[in-house]
Amino acid sequence: MKSIPLIVILSLFAAQSAAQWEALPDSAPSPADNPTTAEKIELGKMLFFDPRFSATGTVSCFSCHNVMEGGDDHRSVSIGVHGVAGGRNAPTVWNAAFLSSQFWDGRAATLEDQAVGPVTNPIEMGMESLDDALGRIRAIPGYKQHFDTAFGAGDNVTMENAAKAIAAYERTLITPNSPYDRYVNGDEYSMSAQAIRGMNTFESVGCSSCHSGPAFSGPAMPAGAGFFVKFPTFESNGDLEKFDLLADQGRFEATGNEADKNIWRVPTLRNLEFTAPYLHNGAVKSLDDVVTLMAQAQLNRNIDGDQVADIVAFLESLTGEFPTQIMPRLPPTPGDLLD
């Protein structure tokens, strides 16, 4: 199902009440048609790490989403097959299960939808078709038993099931129990005084108008909807040319709808110290600079250095506990595939 955009202009939230601070849940809910199981998680993890489903056999989901660290690749824009550079910064997969939609432009409604897209994208994994990708899976005999275990015996090696398995794995990528989470759950000593000041400043200057909810990516949305804002909202404030913020027109690139120009899905603010550089084009390298820029371009405010430092301290308190990731053992490649 395609994402149904809910375009949210920041000024509409000017009169909202105080932020409702929410801790990150320890687990993510799964959709009714894809209940999470240990077997799906195991298969999805294998597919996530396996580069053999790219045209060159060199690019996997893990290539751009390094779950051994911040869930991204620390490039301004990602590099796909044949060394081709993409157009956008790789968003983190950590806590992606809590986002209202997937990709920077929200063109995928769910994790399942998102898992399919990169496979045939010519500058990501570069397969000619989904049928070709499935052919790769079916040609590796060791995968069939894992599909049988996850989905029951039968004709089950399908792209739908592969996407369901990858999504099930990604729903385990949750980083709870940050200092902020402990603070809102009653541990008044888990955050520093500076971080608490930053939390209050974050709310008072208006950051929480968009960055709300447990993932700081907006409120919970109906199934198939996305939480979007215009960025930049105030084009007269902030060094937009320096960061080249208007070159990519956001959701418009996916929909062709004039109303979607410079409209973006609101990203999570969790674990930001692990995911530099920032923004859709990776043009901003430091948290101090991105806080200053966002205050200017989104709130039309020029905040001082102390406020910036306090907000950064608060953002650093959103770094949670990363569950240990053990790289999977993949099924062997048959010799007759080595042409």
| SS3 at position 24 | coil
| SS3 at position 158 | coil
**What is each CA distance from 247 to 204, 250, 287, in whole angstroms?**
31, 9, 22
Catalytic residue among 22, 112, 124, 316: 124
- Pair 331, 136: CB distance under 8 Å: no
DSSP of 172-227: T------HHHHHHTT-TTSS-HHHHHHHHHHHHHTGGGTS-TTTTS-----TTEEE
Could you tell me which residues are beta bridge partners of residue 263?
A: 230, 250
Query: Is position 124 annotated as part of the catalytic site?
Result: yes
| SS3 at position 35 | coil
Could you tell me which residues are beta bridge partners of residue 227?
A: 6
Quote the CA–CA distance of 36 and 170 in Å, as a whole number.
10
| SS3 at position 257 | coil
Could you tell me which residues are beta bridge partners of residue 228?
A: 7, 265
Query: What residues are annotated to the active site?
Result: 124
